[in-house]
Amino acid sequence: MDNFLIKNNLDKERWWIAMAAIIIQLCLGTIYAWSIVKNELVVNQGWEEVATSLTFMISLGITGFAAAIGGNLVDKKGPKFVATLGGILFGSGTIIAGFGIHLHNFFVLYIGYGLIAGLGNGFAYVTPIATLIRWFPDKRGLVTGLAVMGFGAGSFFIGLIAPSFILNLGISNTFYVWGVTFLILIVLSAQLLIDPPRTWLPHNFSYPTGAKCPVSYSFKNALHASQWWILWAILFVNVSAGLGFISQLSSIARDLYNPLNNLSAQEIAIAKDNAGAFVVAIAAIFNGLGRLFWSWLSDIFGRKQIFSTMFLTQAVLYLIVPHISNYYFFLVIACYLLSCLGGGFATMPAFTADTFGSLNIGRIYGTMLTAWGSAGVIGPFIFSWIKDNTASYNNALYAATILLVLGFILTRMYHIPRNIESMMDDQNLNP
């Protein structure tokens, strides 16, 4: 009876942990609204396009590599410590970025939002995912989708409030307010993150093999498996295309929007800015919903089938985007493309845990997020460089199409490691 009560209490407690994870991801996901900030700095304050976009590239690059360090720390120090550290760094880095903008100093901006906030984002991002995979072996795809849905939704909320914040407070003060808010929310939510007992499983749940759990690879053995590198490449391809697109999302939407002819030049500029922010906000909803939708489907149809579908459909749409002249049609396509970006982030943790087990998932998946860091630099850089040198995004969109076709080929090459299949009945390691 006592064991039954403990198990039921933990079954309820894990949903509070999931809620804390969502709040953390909501704060971290605000980084995807950078194109709104970039527009303000470039269009209205005369900052350079590539130099300003470099902030986003540095932050995403640092985030991906910090996630590898954070994943290792999660397995050693526990999730509460790592998430708290991440919250402190992310909040303080955002505040420092405000000083950089106020001083018109790129170096301070890069240190604050690029390095410090990027470190905090990586530490705090990987921690809830690794924790929830251990708490929800029965709903891996769904729960990681819920958590990282918050990451996608973060840019939605910021996309809605950013224009009015910037207009009324100024962009530097906006960063100060955001930084303090992130610091408080992430650090408080981090206090709820704990690992489950080593032998605990949800009520009425057992692995398909009966009393035994799937084998968990060590970090070293996982990196020696070709499947780890295939999954790394799949994530890199999906994120490169998606982040390159999202880094210029507001700008593309702004160019396509045609306001009324009887407006003044200033009113037209404001209308275009609002139109760009609107696309960022609405597409962010689908970035979040896609994380839940695609990861849920992956529980039903399998991770491989879902990634294959996302890659093929995205490739077709990236070919179509250069020929679009209608703002609202672009909005619909942007929503779908961002749903696939989010879906890739949500499905990959479960894909990794299915392949290598959950015992060392923090370090194994955290290191895999170096693909995110690499893509965060390469994708936005390619889009910005091509835009600066050709005055058009078309060639960047075609390059993204080629990448996505490559991603489809890599996905079809993937198979479960054969030695895992043979070891299922020989080992009984805790998840």
Report the b/e string of 16-52 with b at 16+ CB within 10 A.
ebbebbbbbbbbbbbbbbbbbbbbbbbbeeebebeeb
Q: Quick one: pLDDT at residue 421?
A: 44
Assess contact for 337 and 317: CB atoms under 8 A: yes
Q: Which helix (H) or strand (E) holds 257?
A: none
**Residue (of 90, 196, 68) closest to 137 by Cα position:** 196
Which 3 state secondary structure label does DSSP give 210?
strand
Q: Please tell me the distance from the alpha carbon of residue 225 to that of residue 75, in angstroms, as a whole number.
A: 21
3-state secondary structure (DSSP) of residue 207: strand
User: Which of the 8 DSSP states describes residue 323?
Assistant: G
Across 90-109, average pLDDT: 92
Closest by CA to 106, choosing from 23, 42, 32, 156, is 42
* 3-class DSSP assignment, residue 248: coil
Q: How confident is the model at residue 304 (pLDDT cuts 50, 70, 90)?
A: very high
Distance from the Cα of residue 197 to its chain's centroid:
28
Check residue 207 and give its pLDDT. 55
Residue carrying structure tokens 């070919």: 319
AA letter at 1: M
Indicate the domain borders of the chain. 14-195+217-418
Give the dihedral sign, CA 307/312/315/321.
negative
CATH number for 14-195+217-418: choose from 3.30.390.30, 3.40.50.410, 1.20.1250.20, 2.40.50.140: 1.20.1250.20
Q: Lowest mean pLDDT of 46-60, 135-149, 271-285, name the range.
A: 135-149
User: Which residues are CB-contacts of 224 (< 8 A; sequence separation ≥ 6)?
Assistant: none
Between helices 79-103 and 171-190, what is the axis angle to 10°? 170
The CA distance from 227 to 424, in Å, is 17
pLDDT score at 211: 37
CA dist., res. 373 & res. 364, Å (int): 15
C-beta of residue 396 within 8 angstroms of C-beta of residue 386? yes
Q: What is the DSSP string of 5-44?
A: HHHHHHHHHHHHHHHHHHHHHHHHGGGGGHHHHHHIIIII
Decide: residue 7, CB within 10 A, 0-12 exposed, 13-18 middle, 19+ buried: middle
Interval 179-205 mean pLDDT: 85
Q: How far apart are CA 344 and CA 291, in angstroms?
A: 7
Find the radius of gyration of the CA atoms of the chain: 21
Tell me, what's the pLDDT at 382? 82
- What percent of the chain is predicted at pLDDT more than 70? 90
- Give residue-wise pLDDT tens across range 276-297: 878 887 887 888 788 889 988 9
Distance between CA atoms of residues 303 and 400, nearest Å: 22
Average pLDDT of the chain is 83
Specify the DSSP class assigned to residue 111.
I
| C-alpha–C-alpha distance, residues 139 and 152, integer Å | 20
Give the residue-averaged pLDDT of 129-133.
85
DSSP state of 139: S
> Residue 48 contacts by C-beta under 8 Å, 6 or more apart in sequence?
42
Q: What is the pLDDT of residues 366-415, one digit of tens each?
A: 889 889 878 877 888 888 788 777 777 788 888 889 999 999 999 999 98
How would you class 261 by CB atoms within 10 Å of its CB: exposed for 0-12, middle for 13-18, buried for 19 or more? Answer: exposed
- AA identity, residue 264: S
Which residues are CB-neighbours of 288 under 8 A, at least 6 positions away? 29, 149, 150, 151, 152, 153, 156, 342
